[in-house]
Amino acid sequence: MIWVLLLSTITILAVFYGLKKKKAFLFTIPVISIFIFILVKIIMVPVPFLDTVRFIFGLS
């Protein structure tokens, strides 16, 4: 639950400041933070990293 609140706060702040400052880079911050979150969750799996990635993309 804390992760949802944190990522929501990052997204809201980035969009607000992106519109206020008119900087397109600020709109990439939520995407980067979610990518880092997913990467950390994959790394936390107690199986080798490449095996985990193959398993995730091998699901159908």
Q: What is the pLDDT of residues 1-60, one digit of tens each?
A: 787 888 889 889 999 999 999 888 888 988 888 888 888 888 888 888 888 888 888 886
Using CA atoms, how far apart are residues 49 and 43, in angstroms rounded to an integer? Answer: 6
Residue ranges per structural domain of the chain: 2-58
Q: What is the pLDDT of residues 47-59, one digit of tens each?
A: 888 888 888 888 8
Question: Residue 23: phi, psi to the nearest 5?
Answer: -115, 120
* Per-residue pLDDT at 60: 67
Whole-model pTM? 0.67
* Per-residue pLDDT at 20: 92
